């Protein structure tokens, strides 16, 4: 049993879990990759860990457990790791070359432009405001609120603060800034501005992954992802409530 290969398979599964892949994808990719490396792998996926049982043809096997890789949702890594598994399975890469490629993918994972992400997320939330019927004044407020809130979230996560606290703070500041429409009577749709200002924080990927895992009968993972998403939604709601309460926006 080659320990290097089995460690690689465990790291591969932990990285896929961390970057937001569904359980069915992790299983399929891992089995394909293991077959390409000349071993068989059984994977047990838990909400925050993966455990692999890797066997070679000679009757030797090894059990390895890895915590989920912490890097946040990353579809680029998800796509590149899926392609890597096919490259190995189709014989285009050896196991050693695959390990090198894997290390290159994981080391490049965090290198996206934070400023581009900030700007595009703000523009997206502004478009969201328009979809809900917001007028230009509300759109402008939502843009400013998202810009500030998203930057706070980025800075807090970069400094290692708890992600739930980051969601709470970002939603509080976004809601408070967008409430300027109510306070200073800007535009005709101030309610839409406040309601839209925190939507960039909705954890859509965990919700959708939870249902995918549920359909594929990975009930523990489904429950784990759903609970994670509910906790984040509760945090953003608490921030929104605090902002609304501070500015007296709770009268129906």
Partner 1 sequence: MTYDMIFSLLTDGCFAAVAAVGFSTISKTPSRAWLWCGLTAAAGHALRFALLSGTGLHIVAASTVAAMAVGLLAVLFAPRIKCPAEVCLFPALLPMIPGMYAYRTVQALMACIASQDESQFIHCFYLLAYNGFTCSFIILGMVIGANIPIFIFKTISFRATR
Residues that bind partner 1 (CB under 8 A): 20-22, 24-25, 28, 72-79, 82-83, 85-86, 90, 112, 116-117, 120-125, 127-128, 130-132, 191-192, 194-196, 199-200, 202, 204-205, 207-208, 210-212, 215-216, 237, 240-241, 244-245, 249-252
Do 236 and 202 contact (CB within 8 A), yes or no? yes
**Closest distance to partner 1 from the beta carbon of 198 (Å):** 8
Q: What tokens appear for 235 in the block?
A: 């945090």
Which residue, 6 or 126, is less far from partner 1 as judged by CB?
126
**Closest distance to partner 1 from the beta carbon of 69 (Å):** 14
- Listing DSSP states for 34-55 in one string gives HHHTT-EEEEEE-SSEEEEEEE
Q: What tokens appear for 233 in the block?
A: 């939604």
Which residue, 5 or 146, is less far from partner 1 as judged by CB?
146
Do 100 and 129 contact (CB within 8 A), yes or no? no
Which residue, 55 or 127, is less far from partner 1 as judged by CB?
127
Radius of gyration of the chain (CA): 22
User: Which H or E run contains 131?
Assistant: helix 114-131
Which residue, 64 or 175, is less far from partner 1 as judged by CB?
175
**Closest distance to partner 1 from the beta carbon of 219 (Å):** 15
Q: How would you write 171-235 as a 3-class SS string?
A: HHHHHHHHCHHHHCCCCCCHHHHHHHHCHHHCCHHHHHHHHHHHHCCCHHHHHHHHHHHHHHHHH
- Listing DSSP states for 93-112 in one string gives S-HHHHHHHHHHHHHHTT-S
CB atoms within 10 A of CB 119: 15
**Closest distance to partner 1 from the beta carbon of 84 (Å):** 9
**Closest distance to partner 1 from the beta carbon of 95 (Å):** 19
Instruction: For residues 197 and 193, give the distance between their C-alpha atoms in angstroms, rounded to a whole number.
Output: 6
Which residue, 48 or 214, is less far from partner 1 as judged by CB?
214
Which residue, 58 or 252, is less far from partner 1 as judged by CB?
252
**Closest distance to partner 1 from the beta carbon of 64 (Å):** 24
């Amino acid at each position: 049993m080659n320990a290097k290969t089995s460690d690689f398979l465990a790291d591969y599964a932990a990285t896929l879990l961390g970057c937001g892949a569904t359980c069915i994808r992790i299983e399929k990719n891992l089995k394909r990759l293991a077959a390409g490396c000349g071993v068989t792998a059984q994977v047990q996926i838990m909400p925050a860990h993966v455990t692999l049982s890797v066997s070679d043809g000679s009757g030797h096997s090894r059990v390895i457990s890895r915590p989920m890789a912490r890097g946040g949702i990353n579809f680029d890594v998800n796509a590149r790791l899926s392609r890597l598994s096919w490259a190995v399975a189709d014989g285009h890469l050896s196991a050693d070359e695959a390990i090198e490629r894997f290390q290159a993918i994981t080391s490049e994972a965090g290198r996206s432009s934070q400023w581009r992400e900030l700007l595009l997320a703000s523009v997206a939330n502004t478009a969201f405001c328009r979809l809900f019927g917001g007028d230009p004044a509300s759109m402008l407020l939502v843009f400013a609120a998202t810009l500030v809130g998203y930057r706070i979230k980025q800075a807090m996560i970069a400094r290692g603060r708890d992600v739930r606290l980051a969601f709470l703070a970002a939603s509080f500041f976004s809601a408070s800034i967008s409430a300027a429409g109510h306070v200073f009577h800007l535009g005709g749709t101030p309610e839409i501005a406040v309601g839209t200002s925190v939507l960039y924080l909705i954890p859509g990927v965990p919700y959708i992954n939870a249902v995918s895992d549920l359909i594929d009968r990975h009930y523990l993972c489904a429950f784990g992802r759903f609970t994670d998403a509910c906790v984040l939604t509760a945090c953003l709601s608490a921030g929104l409530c605090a902002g609304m309460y501070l500015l007296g926006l709770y009268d129906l």
